[in-house]
Amino acid sequence: MNTIPSDPILTRVLAGDADAFDAWYRREFPAVYRICFGILVDPARADEAARDAMVHLHDRLANYDTTRRFSTWRNAVVMNLCRDRMRRQRVREQIEHDAAESMTTSTIVDPHDAAAANEVVALLEDALCRLSPREREAFVLVVLEQNSPQDAAEALSIGESSVRSLVTLARRRLRQLLGPSLAGSATEPDPKELR
């Protein structure tokens, strides 16, 4: 168990004396700042870290082992806080670097292309709604989900030839429905865009 500190200011700070706290803060802050600056090597970051460290030290004064020199305990606490801060900074910088790198390496979507793609998807959705339920089921299973006609037949409890016929009918109807809207398109729209 800790004994009462031999330092009268610390004793008064622990007792909640505001004047003693002010004196203790003014006495300890320069040393705490120097440690922070020595580790962080940035005046602004050191000042912020030192202020945080002072609050941290005050919050833990009751745990101070008075068999140790106060300055040794204070320095260890402040150095650990600075190390933690540096680790968090490195992690933050790595995350920011990775995010920036992914932004530069990823393709930036042209708003016109995105709007056109959304329009095509809306047209496809509307056209799919106009298919009969069986045509739509067969088309979704075989074309969109890329199941074999045999697997689709099993899922729909119908013959494989019926699935092939339904898919052919669905494709034909989709071409009829989408043809006028997609005039000028060299290729049939990719139904996978619905996923």
d(CA 77, CA 31): 12
Asked if the domains 8-105 and 111-194 are classified in one and the same CATH topology, the answer is: no
Both tokens of 49, joined, read 């870290």
d(CA 87, CA 56): 18
How would residue 49 be classed by pLDDT, with cut points 50, 70 and 90? very high
d(CA 54, CA 77): 10
Q: Is the pLDDT reported for residue 21 higher than 80?
A: yes
| Cα-based distances in Å from 166 to 116, 184, 189 | 29, 27, 19
Q: Is the pLDDT reported for residue 23 higher than 50?
A: yes
**pLDDT computed for residue 58 by the predictor:** 95
What one-character-per-residue DSSP string does 169-180 give?
HHHHHHHHHHTT
The residue ranking higher by pLDDT, 120 or 91, is: 91
Where along the chain do its domains lie?
Answer: 8-105, 111-194
**pLDDT computed for residue 160 by the predictor:** 92
**pLDDT computed for residue 186 by the predictor:** 44
**pLDDT computed for residue 98 by the predictor:** 82
Q: Mean of the pLDDT values across residues 29-56?
A: 94
d(CA 79, CA 39): 8
Q: Is the pLDDT reported for residue 1 higher than 50?
A: no
Q: What CATH number does domain 8-105 carry, 1.10.1740.10, 3.20.20.140, 2.40.30.10, 3.60.20.10?
A: 1.10.1740.10
Q: What percent of the chain has pLDDT over 90?
A: 37
**pLDDT computed for residue 147 by the predictor:** 84
What SS3 state is found at 108? coil
Q: Is the pLDDT reported for residue 194 higher than 70?
A: no
Tell me the residue type at 16: G
The residue ranking higher by pLDDT, 125 or 25, is: 25
Q: Is the pLDDT reported for residue 78 higher than 70?
A: yes
Q: Is the pLDDT reported for residue 191 higher than 60?
A: no
Q: Counting Cβ atoms within 10 Å, is residue 19 exposed (0-12), middle (13-18) or buried (19+)?
A: exposed
Alpha helices in the chain (DSSP H): 8-14, 18-40, 43-59, 70-105, 111-130, 133-139, 149-156, 160-178
Q: What is the pTM of this model?
A: 0.50
Q: What percent of the chain has pLDDT over 70?
A: 87
- Looking at domain 111-194, its CATH class is mainly alpha
pLDDT tens, position by position, 104-158: 655 566 777 777 777 877 777 788 788 888 888 888 888 877 889 998 888 888 9
**pLDDT computed for residue 46 by the predictor:** 93
